[in-house]
Amino acid sequence: MNFARDLANEPRNILHPTEMAKRAEKMAKEVGLKCEILDEKQMAKLEMGSLLSVSIGSEQPAKLIVLKYEPKKSTGKKGELLAIVGKGITFDTGGISIKPAEGMDAMKYDMSGGATVIGTMRAIGLLKPSVPVLGIVAAVENMPDGKASRPSDVVTASNGKTIEILNTDAEGRLVLADAVAYAEKEGATRIVDMATLTGAVIIALGDLNTAVLGNDQALVDEIIACGKEAGENFWQLPVSKEYSKMIKSDIADLKNIGGGRKAGTIIGAVFIQEFIKDAKWAHLDIAGTAWSDEAKPHQAKGPTAVAVRTLLKLVEKSQ
């Protein structure tokens, strides 16, 4: 958890996507994980147009961090693979749909989902459970410049779906789209993604509960139960077909926002769900719980490394 917090605390002129990838690679060597770093050329070959539409406005190139833990002898069900996927937006200006200046400094924490994945994979490497785990982080910087994506642009994700970008500040779901699709292509049968995705979740749940949504009730229930054991609170929100209708585009398969101010957290989740084919999937919106404005008896001020304990419980129970 402290490793994840240290990543989140670093200034973003130091911890850009390339540095985040280097630290993940160094950590992997220390604890015996396999690590592969995909660069933008490799992602372009994989047709990750959704993810790359976010990084295009930054001088810092995107990196897809892939961490693999494989036990010497697996006790898990044959063919089963859990993947944990994190949003690693190292800094989020909002892009062309730029955020207000006040409070933008907090956007260095927009990679907290990615930090949770890296911290959890470090713990897995040290604890050596008897089941394989895949960790993926989409490390990207969202900046505005002459090459940046514009509202009204249409891009194609790696699964072939086209996306109308109506707001470049709804970028987390764009990078996660290609990241979860990649996890499933790598053999993941269960996928848990985590992201500081929406301000709406802070309005709904404050900083006391993390929103959990998913396409498999058993997986969602397991995450909630593991959270209770680990001392972390999760609250389920729905992802029904009626919400999915709100992201249908007139000129593409999907649009990256929908519904105006309605159901913002759910809309972000149902967008990501469009990039899951067969896997059991759960989404954790940690925007309200990834950092704390004040110190608490059990927790320092700043990044919380939320969900690390819960994910480790989930892995433990998969053995």
The pTM score is 0.97
DSSP single-letter state for residue 106: G
CA distance 1 to 13: 22
What pLDDT was estimated at residue 300? 85
Residue 49: predicted pLDDT = 98
State the total domains in the chain.
1
CATH of the domain at 116: 3.40.630.10
- At 156-171, the pLDDT tens digits run 999 999 999 999 999 9
The b/e string for 232-262 (b: 16+ C-beta within 10 A; e otherwise) is bbbebbebeeebbebbebeebbbbbbbeeee
Domain containing 131 equals: 2-317
Q: What is the rounded (10 degree) CA torsion for 258, 261, 264, 266?
A: -70
Residues 6+ apart with CB under 8 A from 13: none
Per the structure block, which two tokens stand in for 272?
């990501």
Active-site residue 173, yes or no? yes
Active site residue 99: yes
Which has the closest alpha carbon to 141: 90, 95, 98? Answer: 90
- 243-289: per-residue pLDDT in tens? 999 999 999 999 999 988 899 999 999 999 999 999 999 999 999 99
230 class by beta-carbon count within 10 Å (0-12 exposed, 13-18 middle, 19+ buried): middle
Beta-bridge mates of residue 128: none
Q: Which of 173, 255, 280, 309 is catalytic?
A: 173
Residues of the chain short of pLDDT 70, as ranges, are: none
Spatial separation of the C-alpha atoms in residues 14 and 161, rounded to whole Å? 35
Structure tokens at 138: 């989409």
Pick the catalytic residue: 22, 23, 99, 161? 99
